[in-house]
Amino acid sequence: MRDNDITKLRRKRARIHAQLRKLEPLIAHQYEELWQVERAIQAVAPELDLPPRKREPHPYFARRELARLVMDIMREASGPMPVRAIAARALAMKGCSLPDRRMMKRTRTLVSQTMAKWAERGLVVTVGKGKDTRRVLVIQ
């Protein structure tokens, strides 16, 4: 690639970053307006269930795959484990050894939701509180 091509691409990248900086406040404003509209709808018709926003699929895990991996990780564990460690191990099993903050947060949230469902069914018990919270599988 020639230096001229690289220069053009770098300038285009800078323009895109500038556009994103302009659009991010607009997007935040749109989310605020959406929240106000949803709040007004709930005030008028509280029995109305608004459909949830469609979520993007996880880039590493197929549907229900994360739950199966978490179950395997919990079975192999010798004792209670924190959600962060479970999420990190699940990502590592899928080939993502160094996930960024956003991916780790997204995976931790999914693991936490899975654990909450299992806790309702009596499969998982929570041990500890706050940062010392660990989960342990009741049925091996």
- Kindly list the domain boundaries of the chain, sorted by start residue: 1-53, 65-137
CATH architecture classification, 65-137: Orthogonal Bundle (1.10)
Pick 132 or 3 by higher pLDDT.
132
Q: Residue 76 has what pLDDT?
A: 92
Both structure tokens of 15: 């323009």
Instruction: Write the CA distances from 130 to 83, 127, 134, integer angstroms.
Output: 12, 10, 9
Instruction: Write the CA distances from 17 to 7, 8, 25, 39, 42, integer angstroms.
Output: 15, 14, 14, 33, 37
Q: Residue 52 has what pLDDT?
A: 79
Q: Residue 97 has what pLDDT?
A: 84
Q: Residue 54 has what pLDDT?
A: 77
- Give tens-digit pLDDT for 30-87: 999 999 999 999 999 888 888 877 777 888 998 889 999 999 999 999 889 999 999 9
- Give tens-digit pLDDT for 89-122: 999 999 988 889 999 999 999 999 999 999 999 9
- The pTM of this model reads 0.60
pLDDT of 1 above 60: no
The pairs formed by 56-63 with CB atoms below 8 angstroms and a separation of 24 or more are: 58/106, 58/107, 58/110, 59/103, 60/91, 60/94, 60/95, 60/96, 60/103, 60/107, 61/90, 61/94, 61/107, 61/110
Q: Residue 85 has what pLDDT?
A: 94
Both structure tokens of 131: 């940062």
- Sorted by sequence, the CB contacts under 8 Å of residue 57 that are 6+ apart come out as 63
